[in-house]
Amino acid sequence: MGGVDRKLRARALEALAETLDVEATLARFPELTRETLRAILLEASTSADRPASGTRARKVVIYTDGASRGNPGLSGAGAFITTEDGRVVSRIARFLGEMTNNMAEYTALLIGLKEAQRVGAEEVTIRSDSELLVKQLEGRYKVKNETLKILHGSAMDLLAGFKRWKAAHIPREKNAEADRLANAGIDDRP
């Protein structure tokens, strides 16, 4: 995984679990920033497997979008998953708290990929209106931000679990349902 190595990530999560104190954890690991620790926690929260339902689709299309009201600001993630012929598999809207738009975009992708795993997909097509996210996944743009490196690494780890994957940048108007779900995640926050 890119960014923070697995051992450091595991030790930081263990320390946080032991103390339940963010400041103590950051003091113990000076190489971590608050933003990086947040990304580690988000990645860990999206990696918990849910039991598979009866819905199985070998090939799926994942539409993802992240929304941030302010940058950083209150954020939400939306993932809309269909079969290749357009049958709806899942709709997910999730409140993410305060983060940047790019962090929300990546978190939406992670949520969508985990859901694709849950429904048994073997091949995924990712469609996003985030040109940055798509080009970083394809390796055409470098990932420079430390927090995005963690999220990008998590996405690449998940993608490695599929037989095939591809990503496509689409216009915002072709991503309306994922956008609606991302905004619903913010609007319907607890």
The CATH number that applies at residue 107 is 3.30.420.10
Confidence band of 5 (pLDDT split at 50, 70, 90): low
Please check whether residues 71 and 104 belong to one and the same domain. yes
Please check whether residues 150 and 87 belong to one and the same domain. yes
Tell me, what's the pLDDT at 130?
98
Q: Is residue 38 part of a domain?
A: yes
Q: Is residue 54 part of a domain?
A: no
Please check whether residues 80 and 105 belong to one and the same domain. yes
What average pLDDT does range 81-92 have in this prediction? 94
Whether the predicted pLDDT of 163 surpasses 60:
yes
Is cis: bond before 30, omega within 30 of 0?
Answer: no
Please check whether residues 179 and 91 belong to one and the same domain. yes
Please check whether residues 31 and 65 belong to one and the same domain. no
Residue with tokens 């992240």: 66
Tell me, what's the pLDDT at 12?
72
Contacts of 84 (CB under 8 A, 6+ apart): 59, 60, 61, 125
CB 61 within 8 A of CB 83: yes
For 167-179, how does the pLDDT look when each residue is reduced to its tens digit (9 = 90+)? 999 999 999 999 9
Pairing state between β 123-128 and 73-83: unpaired
Tell me, what's the pLDDT at 53?
45
Q: Is residue 163 part of a domain?
A: yes
| pLDDT cut 70: percent of the chain above it | 84
What average pLDDT does range 56-76 have in this prediction? 93
Tell me how many domains the chain contains.
2
Q: Is residue 53 part of a domain?
A: no
Tell me, what's the pLDDT at 50?
40
Please check whether residues 99 and 154 belong to one and the same domain. yes
For 124-156, how does the pLDDT look when each residue is reduced to its tens digit (9 = 90+)? 999 999 999 999 999 999 999 999 999 999 999
Count Cβ atoms below 10 Å from residue 127 Cβ, excluding itself.
21
- Which amino acid does the sequence have at 129? D
Please check whether residues 77 and 151 belong to one and the same domain. yes
The torsion angles phi and psi of 60, rounded to 5 degrees, stand at -130, 160
For 23-59, how does the pLDDT look when each residue is reduced to its tens digit (9 = 90+)? 877 887 888 788 777 777 766 655 443 434 445 679 9
Across 60-72, b (16+ Cβ under 10 Å) vs e yields bbbbbbbbbeeeb
d(CA 51, CA 106): 23
d(CA 93, CA 80): 9
Please check whether residues 63 and 157 belong to one and the same domain. yes
Domain that holds residue 163: 59-187
Residue with tokens 């939406």: 108
Please check whether residues 84 and 173 belong to one and the same domain. yes
Tell me, what's the pLDDT at 15?
67
| pLDDT cut 90: percent of the chain above it | 67
E strand spans, the chain: 59-70, 73-83, 88-99, 123-128, 164-169
